[in-house]
Structure 1
């Protein structure tokens, strides 16, 4: 059954994202309720999971045996995450791995956090994505309250983008110009719960660059192995 773990993981994230969104996008907003704010955070985390699933598909590990299915799921996850273009994501991400922390790296722009974030976003946003979001928003307004659409559908996607950038790009690559660091990447301290909650283990970023064939749930094991080696 291990060969189907990637499919199960991506499928569960897609299912939970859809069910959670379907419930809260029509639920009356109670500003005093902590459950509403928790729902935004949960939806943000599920959006991040969509992107991570798409990212794993880029590396071919959602379904190793069935490449077409692998990339179909990656494309679906990218679309659900604010209509991202999987083809662009795939091309740019492979460039990131090939030219990490160089002038040819599309993800790393050393310097001010906000300038870096803007340049990072500019690499991936396409006019077709903006058009699709606008059309979908206006269609959703026919059936659901505008506030719910903004707070449950749009805001979590924006927050997830920030989450992915901060924990998955900025912290791992900030100021990394170490001659003995072959991947020009660093990892967070070993804390598997925080690694999952913050960015589906991609705080263990050196491990990802060292073994890009590992799916997100295997990065904790790689971190364990590296921690044991470094402690000897």
Structure 2
């Protein structure tokens, strides 16, 4: 039995590590390729497609970090698991990994309650809720670090490597903003705003007709299968849809 469990954990290690390598590699590859293009040479369709693709990969960085917080990314190697998580949130937006861990564990401990940093405790106005969500993960110190690093990186890329500033806006800044909206809307607002209809907190989305493909592309299964994540937090994101079917 121990041997069987060991094989399962080793398999999870390979899957988690492979997914991390794919997402991080695609993030950097797409960045280098898109920073080098002339935006005026591509159509609006490909510009929008590139921005949305970068947004999805950017969200993927946070999903990697999220799974590492739960020890799900590489279950049998704690050091590598948290190392990849730290790298992922740093690339995402120079976020402090330990602070993110504390916030997320409080979210699981007090879901949709006053101690939940992801929850807006009065009338669920999505705009106010979004800015509270951002403030919780971007405290003033982190925001200053983010702005300073972004200014230095932008100066280096535009001055030394002659990258067009518009490329940085379209392929770095815009995907970051859209990614934060994606994480908030699909991963936080949609599942948790139902508290006002169910005071006992059941963050399962009301509709069960979303396809697994839409669930995957909307927010890596964390929108539609959010209840499953709360009930089975040690389940990797790519297996949440299987928990739902049981």
Contact 2:63/2:220 (CA < 8 Å) preserved in 1? yes
- The aligned residue for residue 24 of structure 1 is 34
- The aligned residue for residue 137 of structure 2 is 124
Superposed displacement of residue 79, structure 1? 0.7
Q: Aligned equivalents of 2:134 and 2:33: distance in 1?
A: 29
Partner of 2:93, secondary structure, is: coil
What is the aligned counterpart of 1:140 among 151, 157, 166? 157
Superposed displacement of residue 124, structure 1? 1.1
- The aligned residue for residue 108 of structure 1 is 119
Q: Map residues 79-118 of structure 1 onto 2, 5 A cutoff.
A: 79-110=90-121, 111-118=124-131
Contact 1:167/1:199 (CA < 8 Å) preserved in 2? yes
Contact 1:85/1:129 (CA < 8 Å) preserved in 2? no
Extract unaligned runs of 5+ from structure 1: 226-232
- The aligned residue for residue 15 of structure 1 is 25
TM-score, normalised to structure 1's length? 0.92
Q: Aligned equivalents of 1:124 and 1:82: distance in 2?
A: 10
Superposed displacement of residue 83, structure 1? 1.1
What is the aligned counterpart of 2:174 among 134, 150, 155? 155
Superposed displacement of residue 196, structure 1? 0.6
- The aligned residue for residue 203 of structure 2 is 185
Superposed displacement of residue 179, structure 1? 5.0
Contact 2:85/2:97 (CA < 8 Å) preserved in 1? yes
Q: Aligned Cα RMSD in Å?
A: 1.4
Contact 1:83/1:133 (CA < 8 Å) preserved in 2? no
Per-residue CA shift, 1:100-128, capped at 9, x if unaligned?
Answer: 11111000104211100011101111222
TM-score, normalised to structure 2's length? 0.86
Q: Aligned equivalents of 1:149 and 1:86: distance in 2?
A: 25
Bigger CA drift: 127-136 or 96-105? 127-136
Contact 2:194/2:203 (CA < 8 Å) preserved in 1? no
Does 1:50 pair with 2:71? no
Extract unaligned runs of 5+ from structure 2: 1-9
- The aligned residue for residue 230 of structure 1 is none
Contact 1:25/1:153 (CA < 8 Å) preserved in 2? no
What is the aligned counterpart of 2:184 among 150, 158, 165? 165
